[in-house]
Structure 1
Amino acid sequence: MKPRLFDLSSTWYLPAPAEQVWAIIADIDMSWPQWWPGCSFAAPLERWPAESSSQADILKATTAHLSFKAALGYTLTISIHPTMVVAPREIEFDAGGHLEGKGQVTLIPDDRGQATRMDIEWRVRPTQRWMNMLTPIAAPAFTAAHALLMRQGESGLMKALTMAPKNNPVDPSTSP
Structure 2
Amino acid sequence: MSQRLFDLSSTWHLPATPTQVWTIIADVDMSWPSWWPHCSFAAPLVRTEPAGNNQEDILKATTAYLNFKASLGYTLTISIHPTKIVTPSEIEFDAGGHLEGTGKVTLTPEANGIATRMDIEWKVNPTQRWMSLLTPIAAPAFRAAHALMMRQGERGLVKALVNGMPPPSS
Contact 2:107 2:117 in 1 (8 A): yes
CA deviation profile, 1:151-175 (whole Å, cap 9, x unmatched): 0000000000012269x8xxxxxxx
Contact 1:3 1:132 in 2 (8 A): no
Alpha-carbon distance in structure 2 between the residues aligned to 1:108 and 1:120: 12
Name the structure 1 match of 2:14.
14
- Runs of 5+ unmatched residues, structure 2: none
Name the structure 2 match of 1:134.
134
TM-score, scaled to structure 1 = 0.91
Name the structure 2 match of 1:122.
122
Q: AA paired with 1:71?
A: S
| Offset of residue 62 of structure 1 | 0.1
| Offset of residue 56 of structure 1 | 0.4
Alpha-carbon distance in structure 2 between the residues aligned to 1:72 and 1:38: 12
TM-align CA RMSD: 1.4
Q: How does 1:1-176 map to 2 (within 5 A)?
A: 5-164=5-164
Contact 1:3 1:126 in 2 (8 A): no
- Deviant stretches of 4+, over 4 Å: none
Contact 2:91 2:106 in 1 (8 A): yes
- Runs of 5+ unmatched residues, structure 1: 169-176
Contact 1:3 1:127 in 2 (8 A): no
Aligned length: 166
Paired-residue identity, %:
72
